[in-house]
Amino acid sequence: MKIKGKVSTIIFKNDTNGWTVILLKQEDGYITAVGETDGLEIDDEIELNGEFTSHKVYGEQFKFDSYIKVMPHTNLALIEYIANNISGVGKKTAQKIVDTFGDETIDIIRFYPSKLEGIKGLNSEKIFNMSNFFNEEWDKWNVIEYLTSFSISVVKATKIYKMLGTDTIDIIKENPYSLLNFVNTLDFKLVDDIGKKQNIPLTHEARLEAGILYCLTKTIQFGNTCIEYEKLVENAVIVLQVENEEIENAIAKLVIKEKIYIDNIDDKDYVFTRSFYIAESNIAQNIVRHSLLKTSDKDYTSKIEKVSNKNNIELSSEQINAIKNALNSKISIITGGPGTGKTTIIKCIIDIIEGMNKEYVLCAPTGRAAKRITQTTNKEAKTLHRLLEITKVSDNDFDTFLDLEVKQINADYIIVDEASMLDVMMMNNLLKAILDNANIILVGDVNQLPSVGPGNVLKDIIDSNIVTTTYLTHIYRQSQNSNIIMNAHRVNNGECPIFENNNTDCYFLSTASLEDTEEKITSLISYRLENYISFDKLKDLQIITPMKKTKLGTIELNKTLQEILNPKSSNKKEKEINSKLFRVGDKVMQIVNNYDKTSTVDGIGIDGVYNGDIGYITSIDFESEELYVKFDDDKIVSYSFDEADELEHAYAITVHKSQGSEFDYVVLPIFVAYKKLFTRNLLYTAITRAKKMLIIIGNKKVIEYMVNNVDEKNRKTGLKKKLQSLI
């Protein structure tokens, strides 16, 4: 249904996604309306399309899925509209205009502005601005009304209008699929509905190409950088509902246009988007070039002995070999599981580099990973975003990421910790920034989960056998006393973990249901753990779970844990924003990269807050509509209420989000298995997040399933083949 009214009050507006709550004035009273808006202002007259709903807290509301601004339809409204929107034109002058031209006022302003020259209070500049404003608004809302008729939100419709302007409707009528070139968040199926309504043939070239690119990009959601040719054809036939031959011809045309690439890997053809094919090619060329550069053959034995004596450590032959390889090779990899001495090696390498008066940088893919290696080495580590000075790029805008200009790294050695977290786009940008005379040292655990972003960079490089790689297998004595570490290695070797549940740091609690599992988690955190250990529940304890949904997912667990770990109190301010209740003291995580946030720590300016950073809400200011978060690196960042959707509660986090971090005490619920998600390397990664104690709660059969599930972790990528083909 459609309703009309004037915007009386904008109660709430989220600038990130456009979600707005407004008080709408109608002839017979006021109603509350909710939906996505863009550029809406008080006193705007609008027509909304939606339906009345009943909210359990806020009562009756009109929930709209689209709206349009309408030109004022009364003289009084038109006077206010002119006065409120045209600089230098007040109500008296607006009154004269309306009194002079009456019902023809809008047409006069739009089409015959010269007739306004006789109105006292107007000059040529004001007349031009008024006519220009009315025409722009008319054109804009004409386009938006057209787009919203196809179920495109006002926010996206406005974005399209800003890109295409007054030609928008003509462009869409000629080829609606071109919209996908301008707004990458538009869904192909929505655009395809527009095409079908315009009777565009199913076999139209633009439709086929857009559908194929849609099917190709869907594979990126699972971490792949490519898809088998036959699989792409099969998927595209289902989506586009045409014959195989039509799809194959369209793929050939896309290849000619260099929008996609085909490469043969292990006797199968794979299809890539332009961004990932070029990124992997760039990585391969840079790595091979570095690997072929002249290497050193210096004997670092005496220097290694000196730093081992200085630090009072006894290095194994593996560790000594890793240090020599790193110092003598232009590019090298050090990989091993927990307890195999990776951090010790990094510390020794840095000591030797400093002793030679050489420059080095220590970095990691995420803020928490950088903080962890800083703490363990006592040396400053930067995130790759900060090191490369990457700013204002959408994480999913792969074309922009590909062609990004990054800051050059002027150092003799570049040490990257947690290298398993490097995705294709970040690795491409890192290698672009490194000079040929620098030594690149990648340190990571190749058996952990691969990067959140597409690719399997560290594994592909190792498997190519191009780069000097040191495998650390020896578990040191102090680590042999840890059942956490020993169980991690058992899982990695395809063996089920052993739970002694006595004089151990690794426990298992069996449960019979989701409810039983949830109850054991809450009882542990509420009181049981306090009987055995002394710890800070908020900072030392972390619940890690494989998933977001179900009772054991982060969404539900965070609601439960908030009431246990940070209960409601008259002394704590709280604010509900977008159905999330934020309270002073809450543990929260930043879930997107925000390069614009700035803060100061110890007098040093810090730019950006990044996906995965964890902090605590220190205050909520209702007057300024802001909340403040102190992150683990001591930076304090302010968020307007509109920006709060960048934060999630972090009492429970996913295994993927925990990568690069370690926590003293970890509770890991494992009860219900999703085949694609519950893999050996996910279990292995989760176990290795715990330093002092790990408690797994759930079902042993699911654990056994995860140990045996190695097939689901393999990503489709082309980097290994590109590396080998160059050699």
Say if strands 541-545 and 663-670 run parallel, antiparallel, or are unpaired.
Answer: parallel
The first and second tokens of residue 48, run together, are: 């909304």
586 in Cβ contact with 566 (< 8 Å): yes
pLDDT at 16: 61
The stretches of 273-312 forming alpha helices (DSSP H) are 274-292, 301-310
pLDDT at 713: 62
pLDDT along the chain (727 residues), means of 10: 83 73 83 82 80 74 81 75 83 89 86 88 89 84 80 78 85 87 78 90 93 89 91 94 95 95 94 95 95 83 91 89 94 92 93 94 89 90 88 70 88 95 94 93 92 92 95 77 90 92 87 92 89 85 92 92 92 88 94 75 65 90 90 84 89 91 93 82 93 93 91 82 91
pLDDT at 61: 85
pLDDT at 479: 65
- How far apart CA 132 and CA 85 sit, in angstroms, is 12
The first and second tokens of residue 529, run together, are: 């753990």
Whole-number Cα distances in Å, 663 to 363, 546, 556, 660, 677? 20, 16, 21, 10, 22
The first and second tokens of residue 531, run together, are: 């009987």
Please state the φ and ψ torsions of residue 100, each to the nearest 5 degrees. Answer: -75, -40
- How far apart CA 314 and CA 344 sit, in angstroms, is 10
Per DSSP, what are the bridge partners of residue 48?
3, 67
Q: Closest Cα to residue 719, out of 334, 459, 471, 468?
A: 459
555 in Cβ contact with 516 (< 8 Å): no
pLDDT at 231: 95
Other CB atoms within a 10 A radius of the CB of residue 149 amount to 14
150 in Cβ contact with 193 (< 8 Å): yes
The separation between CA 573 and the C-alpha centre of its own chain, rounded to angstroms, equals: 29
Other CB atoms within a 10 A radius of the CB of residue 387 amount to 22
| pTM of the predicted protein model | 0.80
191 in Cβ contact with 177 (< 8 Å): yes
- How far apart CA 179 and CA 177 sit, in angstroms, is 5
- How far apart CA 564 and CA 569 sit, in angstroms, is 12
16 in Cβ contact with 641 (< 8 Å): no
